[in-house]
Amino acid sequence: MKVAFATQDLKRVDAHFGWAKNIAIYEVGPEGHHFVEAIEFDGDLKEDGNEDKLAPKIDAIKDCAILYVAAIGGSGAARVVANNIHPMKVSQPEEISDLIGKLEQVLQGNPPPWLRKVMSKGQERKFDFDDE
């Protein structure tokens, strides 16, 4: 599954979603991960109430299942969730590599229900009904 990280330096999750200079995207699974791409944003990213700055970011992460952020506003969170992306807030700046390592460990075990649902993003739902 693809995971997005709001970052200023491409090393740590240290950015508010709306103000993030970069979004780093990784493919993460129980067997490992790899870097997919980094998307850089410019302009006046700190302008509160400027909803137009969110549209390119939402578009950039639309195929991601999880978004790690230092903070996210109500409008941004609503738009992320509406795109079936699960926002994860970190309480202090954390290394992207550490977060990926923790996520891989959870994926190797028995992921919680919310994560199993997130992992199925973009996959066709399968119903296995027995014939009556």
pLDDT given at position 132: 45
Cα angle 43, 62, 2; round to 5: 110
Look up residue 71 and give its amino acid: A
pLDDT given at position 124: 60
pLDDT tens-digit profile of 17-68? Answer: 988 999 999 999 999 999 999 999 886 555 555 456 788 999 999 999 999 9
pLDDT tens-digit profile of 63-94? Answer: 999 999 999 999 899 999 999 999 999 999 99
Full-model pTM:
0.86
